[in-house]
Amino acid sequence: MKKKIKERDIVAGCKADKPQSQRQLYDLYCRMVMGMALRYTRNLTDAEDVVQETFIKIFMKIGSLRDEKSLTSWIKTITTNTCLDFLKSKNNDYIITSIEETDEDIKDEYHKNYDDIPTQQLLAFVQELPDGYRTVFNLCAIDGYSYEETAKMLNCTASNVRSQYFRARNLLKEKIEHYE
C-alpha cells in the first residue's frame, strides 16, 4: 500500500519533469527493465542501450499515462516495444518471413530435472538464438502474447510466428539436453 502511494507521488513528480522523481522511478524499475532487455537482446551492451532508450521514452511519455495502477505493465509494454525497435534498427529483416511449416508436437514433456540449470545459463541459451527466434520465443513463451498478437507486433503472419516459435523451442531443447 505504501509502495503504491509512493509510486503515485513518483509518477506525479515525473509528469512535472522533476529529476529527483525520475531517479526514483529508475531505481524502482531499472532491474526489471534490464531483465527484459537481456533476454530480448544478444548481450549486455545491447541490453544497456535498450534500458537507456526505454527510460528516456518512459520519462518523455509519462504524461500520457492515465492510470498509475497500470504503471508496471505500461513500463513492460514500452520495454518490449523498445526491444523490438532496437532489433529492427540493427537488422530490419530479422524476422525470417519465408519458412516452411513444421508439425512438431508441442505437448512433449521433458523428464529431466531442469531446476539444476542456473538462470544465467538459460538466459545465455536464449541470447544465443537468432534474433527472430529469440523475439518470438520471448513474446509467446515468456510475455504471454498469442501468435496473432505477436504476428501483429512483428508485422508478419500468425503461422510464420508459430513455425518460428517451434524452431526456437527445438533449438533451446537441444541446448538444454546437451547441457551437463
Residues lying near other proteins in the complex (CB under 8 A): 17, 23, 26, 30-32, 34-36, 38-39, 47-48, 51-53, 55-56, 59-60, 107-111, 113-115, 119, 122-123, 126, 137, 141-142, 144, 169, 172-173, 176
How far lies 59's CA from each of 71, 81, 118, in Å? 12, 15, 34
- For residue 93, the minimal CB distance to other proteins (Å) is 25
**Which of residues 17 and 128 has its CB atom nearest to other proteins in the complex?**
17
Return the H-helix or E-strand segment holding 58. Answer: helix 44-61
- Residue 112 in contact with residue 74, Cβ under 8 Å? no
164 Cβ neighbours under 8 A, 6+ residues apart: 95, 96, 99, 132, 133, 136
- For residue 76, the minimal CB distance to other proteins (Å) is 10
Closest CA to 53 of 72, 20, 81: 81
Q: 10 Å Cβ neighbour count for 173?
A: 14
**Which of residues 5 and 16 has its CB atom nearest to other proteins in the complex?**
16
**Which of residues 12 and 32 has its CB atom nearest to other proteins in the complex?**
32
- For residue 72, the minimal CB distance to other proteins (Å) is 11
- Residue 48 in contact with residue 6, Cβ under 8 Å? no
**Which of residues 155 and 177 has its CB atom nearest to other proteins in the complex?**
177
- For residue 159, the minimal CB distance to other proteins (Å) is 19
Q: How far apart are CA 122 and CA 157, in angstroms?
A: 28
Q: How far apart are CA 162 and CA 136, in angstroms?
A: 8
**Which of residues 35 and 130 has its CB atom nearest to other proteins in the complex?**
35
- For residue 126, the minimal CB distance to other proteins (Å) is 7
